Amino acid sequence: MKKQLKNILKWKLRFLARWAIWKYQPGIVGITGTVGKTSTKEAVITVLRSIRKTRPSAGNFNNEFGLPLAILGDWEKVSGAIFWFKVIFVSFFRLIFGRSYPELLVLEYAADRPGDLKYLLELVRPQIGVVTAIGDIPPHVEFYSGSDAVAREKSRLVEALPAVGFAILNYDDQAVYEMREHTRAHVITYGFSEGSEVRITNFENRTEDGKPAGISFKLEYGGNFVPVRLDGAFGRAQAYAAAAAAAVGLAFGMNLVKISEALNYYRVSPGRGRLVPGVKESWIIDDSYNASPPSTHAALETLKDLKTKRKIAVLGDMLEIGKYTIEAHENIGRFAAKAVDILVTVGPRARFIADAASKAGLAKKNICSFDVVEDSLQTVQDLIKKGDLILVKASHAMELEKVVEEIRQI
């Protein structure tokens, strides 16, 4: 019965969402990839809002239930049967009597399992598609035969683009760059490497007076360049998000100067690398919303690069990576040994991080491991000293946001 009700709800949401697209005919920017979708979405919104009435999908609304919600209105937290009844009733009323609707929607397209993107693209096809990254060991890979299969699923987005559309592709990710062969749309590439059409250069993680400040870099396109400064954002991942957003802006006819000015208003989403004041005059990079091998490595690289007194990483399990679980956690552990002064791990899989870090030279006295997050809270609190920088990162199910709440400055 529960499955039947779920299918009925899916059908109703699909019907209403397609009705909304038919009635209002908004432009659609679709974003997919295995990491960086939400940051890229926020950066794209920041750029496009300077020229058009634009609405993003809220939070993590990127699946068969979330995508219709994003199309139907500015809904936020999902909460039970009454919520869904309200969505259907209010959406039907708006579609009959409403006139106001955004010119543009910026939507995330998730593909946790094979076939997910096909369903979402039958619901609504974008005119502009952005693919962020795939990586060697992408999240959700346990539901696929391998990373190539993940890339094939993600490539459905650019295959669905019209000939007059734009495919915005990460030049630095080989699997993404190869998608240019599978689209009729005009391709714009972005990245750090020479050959990227929108190229990131002179990248720097900034600290000011011992406090992490943000990143700065230049964006180059067509022989011109502009400086970009993102306060409170850290790591190359945020620069990638800004470059992808710049490419979207260029597709809409914006120039680099206007794009750079718009990016001044970009802010990092909670739990996705946001800087948070911590107890004892410390600082937290709150990246607790989710984790995968590529994003965790990137977060540790950022931590390593920032100039602070002492660096602590609180790392939890990376889930849904199947046969790569041991290898991926050990790789993170070996890199963490070079990047941090103190390592705290949470979860049974994360013990592989701790073991590998120890073997790579991080002193055992500087490593603590716990099975559940609640057991780690007091230890992390006690470890912190003035001036420390603490990275908190794990898959969402590990609930490491509890660590952030425990050690943030109230």
Q: What is the CATH number of the domain that holds 345?
A: 3.90.190.20
Domain of residue 94, residue span: 2-263
Pick the last residue of a domain from 201, 228, 263. Answer: 263
3-state secondary structure of 201: strand
Global pTM value: 0.92
Q: Indicate if 17 and 133 belong to the same structural domain.
A: yes
Cβ–Cβ < 8 Å for 336, 362: yes
Q: Indicate if 174 and 304 belong to the same structural domain.
A: no
Tell me how far CA of residue 199 lies from CA of 191, 226, 245, 316, 335, in angstroms. 5, 11, 12, 33, 27
* Edge-to-edge strands, sheet with 367-370: 274-278, 282-287, 388-393, 310-316, 342-346, 367-370
Q: Indicate if 242 and 297 belong to the same structural domain.
A: no
Relative orientation angle of helices 256-263 and 236-251, to the nearest 10 degrees: 130
| Residue 194 lies inside a defined structural domain of this protein | yes
d(CA 73, CA 55): 9
Per-residue pLDDT tens digits for 105-135: 999 998 888 999 999 999 999 999 999 999 8
3-state secondary structure of 275: strand
pLDDT the model gives residue 410 = 73
Tell me how far CA of residue 30 lies from CA of 65, 66, 127, in angstroms. 16, 14, 8
d(CA 235, CA 233): 7
Pick the last residue of a domain from 217, 236, 263. Answer: 263
Pick the last residue of a domain from 242, 263, 284. Answer: 263
| Residue 268 lies inside a defined structural domain of this protein | no
Cβ–Cβ < 8 Å for 172, 192: yes
Q: Indicate if 298 and 153 belong to the same structural domain.
A: no
pLDDT the model gives residue 194 = 96
Structure-block tokens of residue 158: 């650019």
Structure-block tokens of residue 110: 């998730």
Structure-block tokens of residue 131: 């693919």
pLDDT the model gives residue 328 = 96
| DSSP code, position 396 | G
> What is the amino acid identity at position 357?
A
Q: Indicate if 140 and 222 belong to the same structural domain.
A: yes
Give the sign of the dihedral formed by CA 63, CA 60, CA 146, CA 346: negative
| Residue 269 lies inside a defined structural domain of this protein | no
Using the predicted structure, report yes or no on whether residue 1 has a pLDDT greater than 70.
no
Residues in the chain: 410
Q: Indicate if 70 and 128 belong to the same structural domain.
A: yes
CATH code of the domain covering residue 146: 3.40.1190.10
Cβ–Cβ < 8 Å for 234, 214: yes
Q: Indicate if 368 and 397 belong to the same structural domain.
A: yes
- Number of other CB atoms surrounding residue 12 within 10 Å: 16
Q: Indicate if 15 and 125 belong to the same structural domain.
A: yes
Using the predicted structure, report yes or no on whether residue 353 has a pLDDT greater than 90.
yes
Q: Indicate if 186 and 224 belong to the same structural domain.
A: yes
Q: Which residue has the higher pLDDT, 5 or 55?
A: 55
Q: What is the mean pLDDT of the chain?
A: 93
- Number of other CB atoms surrounding residue 366 within 10 Å: 16
Q: Indicate if 214 and 76 belong to the same structural domain.
A: yes
- Number of domains present in the structure of the chain: 2
d(CA 75, CA 72): 8
Nearest to 107 by CA among 46, 44, 163: 44
Q: Indicate if 280 and 255 belong to the same structural domain.
A: no
pLDDT the model gives residue 211 = 86
